[in-house]
Amino acid sequence: MPDDHSATGRPLVHTSPVVTTALRRELRGGPAPVRVETTVHSWTDFRRDWDFAGDVVVIHALLDDHVPLPLKVRALRRLGSVPVVLGPGRETPFARRCGAEGARAWIEPTNGLTTTARTIREVASGRIPEHARPAPAPPCSAELTDRELQVLSLYASTRGHSPAHLGRVLSLRTETVRSHLARGRARYRALGHDTHGRAALRAALVADGWFLDPAVWTAASRA
């Protein structure tokens, strides 16, 4: 294991400063300290502040922003980092899909601070404990591009974003947003899935693991 002066770092991305402070302190203690190089509380801050030097990135599953977690994991994998997810629902299709996209471990909050820190140390050393291994990915009904995944997930959210609003948020023309929606829905229709309405599209994305079941947000008191 690298010590606290290692050249590589482990960024933490979590919505709660309390959690990041406690976990950072826990990781720096003990016989095999891990240096946490960057601690941020949103994906936007992470993209702005990270210097792309971290080998392991610990990220909160319930970051509420405009980038779906499977897309975050996919991007980190492409950059050569090892994503570790903190969040509920390790055996849900959502967690399984994130595992297929490159998440090396999924750590449930019920594990507690000490176990979470120990698991991160193990992942950093190349070992994945059984309790943190994502379950096998569900059969994928639709292969979605990065932008299709982002647009479909935001459109299917319970907030009811319109294509015009998504265009403003994502700096895209409304027609481009509609085109991504149409192509994503067409991928499902080709496989026999109805995604005509927003609720039907959301159900298809949840079943595929591209979208977190709203019930998980409710159970985590984040709805």
Q: How far apart are CA 63 and CA 57, in angstroms?
A: 14
Q: Are 37 and 161 in contact (CB under 8 A)?
A: no
Closest by alpha carbon to 105, among 92, 78, 122, 114?
Answer: 122
Q: How far apart are CA 148 and CA 135, in angstroms?
A: 25
How do the pLDDT tens digits run along the chain, 223 residues long? 233 334 345 777 877 787 888 888 888 876 677 778 778 888 888 877 776 656 888 999 988 888 999 999 999 998 888 999 999 989 899 999 999 999 999 999 899 898 999 899 889 888 999 999 988 877 777 889 999 999 999 999 878 889 999 999 999 999 999 999 999 999 999 988 888 889 999 999 999 999 988 888 777 765 4
